């Protein structure tokens, strides 16, 4: 029976029956894998708090080669990032990253670039105190992760007619696959307005490492434009709304606002 050993990130952990846990790992060697941790819920479990989301671990699991669920053998913490749980806003954005990877990443599809990207994004979220910059980190992370999955939106030229960038790109169409020129924007009722500044920040964010993204001086309105563009692209191509994204939008509403 094959043995799987790898550095891994814990994306999700949920109770399974009376005493076990079902853990979703994003492994460095094998991509996303699910494993059952026997007896993990018990008070004297050998796993302790090692199976909590956001932990970076070394795991060993075994199971049949094409089995959907593996059996967890050992799990040792390599690194914890406690600052991710320091406040609800930071934790929600860390969850949003994990949820995004969980939905986009196929089981047993190796993605070492995506693994490194998630770790570096969590570290930057833990360092950053500004909500606006944390939001920018989250959206650029999503763009970068889409790129690792071959779903990068077109930002250099019009995704409708192919006209090259500059100030001619004045909108974003998830249906067409990215930025659109004025003519294609007017012809597409699903397209949204995106300013040249927001377009520039998206392009810059894709070009630079996450360690530098937090230094970008993007205003709140620009971050909101990027958030809307990325959200529409995700809904069109991943075909679902991220639950944590909805929570973040609702938590940003003023007290007393009933929301929409």
Phi, psi dihedrals of residue 45, rounded to the nearest 5°: -60, 140
Residues 36 and 110 in one domain: no
Residues 155 and 95 in one domain: yes
Q: How many CB atoms lie within 10 A of CB 70?
A: 23
Ordered strands of the 178-181 beta sheet: 178-181, 169-173, 192-193
Residues 76 and 94 in one domain: no
Render each residue's pLDDT in the chain as its tens digit; 260 residues: 799 999 999 999 999 999 999 999 999 999 999 999 999 998 788 898 899 999 999 999 999 988 999 999 999 999 999 999 989 999 999 999 999 999 999 999 999 999 999 999 999 999 999 988 999 999 999 999 999 999 999 999 999 999 886 668 889 999 999 999 999 999 999 999 999 899 999 999 999 999 999 888 888 899 999 999 999 999 898 876 677 766 666 565 443 434 44
Residues 75 and 94 in one domain: no
Is 256 within a domain? no
- Give, for 93, the enclosing helix (H) or strand (E): helix 88-104
Phi, psi dihedrals of residue 134, rounded to the nearest 5°: -65, -40
The CATH number of whichever domain residue 24 belongs to comes to 2.40.50.140
Rounded to whole angstroms, the Cα distance separating 149 from 164 reads: 24
Rounded to whole angstroms, the Cα distance separating 118 from 144 reads: 10
Rounded to whole angstroms, the Cα distance separating 5 from 102 reads: 20
HSE on the CB side for 174, CA within 13 Å? 17
Residues 35 and 121 in one domain: no
> What is the reported pTM?
0.89
pLDDT at 168: 80
The CATH number of whichever domain residue 173 belongs to comes to 1.20.1440.120
């Amino acid at each position: 029976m094959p043995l799987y050993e790898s550095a891994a990130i814990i994306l999700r952990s949920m109770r399974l029956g009376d005493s076990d846990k079902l853990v979703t790992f994003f492994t460095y060697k094998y991509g996303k894998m699910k494993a059952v941790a026997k007896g993990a819920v018990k008070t004297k479990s050998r796993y302790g708090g090692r199976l909590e989301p956001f932990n970076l671990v070394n795991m060993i699991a075994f199971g049949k080669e094409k089995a959907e669920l593996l059996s967890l053998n050992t799990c040792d913490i390599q690194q914890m990032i406690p600052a991710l749980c320091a406040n609800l806003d930071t934790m929600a954005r860390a969850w949003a990253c994990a949820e995004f990877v969980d939905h986009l990443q196929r089981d047993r599809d190796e993605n070492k670039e995506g693994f490194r990207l998630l770790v570096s994004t969590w570290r930057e979220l833990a360092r950053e105190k500004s909500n606006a910059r944390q939001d920018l980190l989250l959206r650029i992370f999503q763009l970068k992760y889409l790129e690792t999955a071959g779903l990068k939106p077109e930002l250099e030229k019009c995704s409708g007619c192919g006209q090259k960038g500059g100030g001619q790109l004045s909108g974003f169409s998830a249906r067409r696959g990215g930025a659109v020129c004025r003519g294609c924007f007017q012809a597409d009722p699903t397209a949204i307005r995106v300013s040249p500044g927001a377009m520039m920040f998206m392009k810059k964010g894709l070009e630079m490492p996450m360690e530098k993204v937090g230094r970008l001086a993007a205003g709140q309105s620009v971050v909101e434009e990027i958030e809307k563009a990325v959200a529409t692209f995700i809904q069109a191509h991943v075909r679902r709304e991220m639950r944590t994204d909805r929570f973040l939008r609702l938590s940003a509403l003023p007290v007393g606002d009933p929301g929409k």
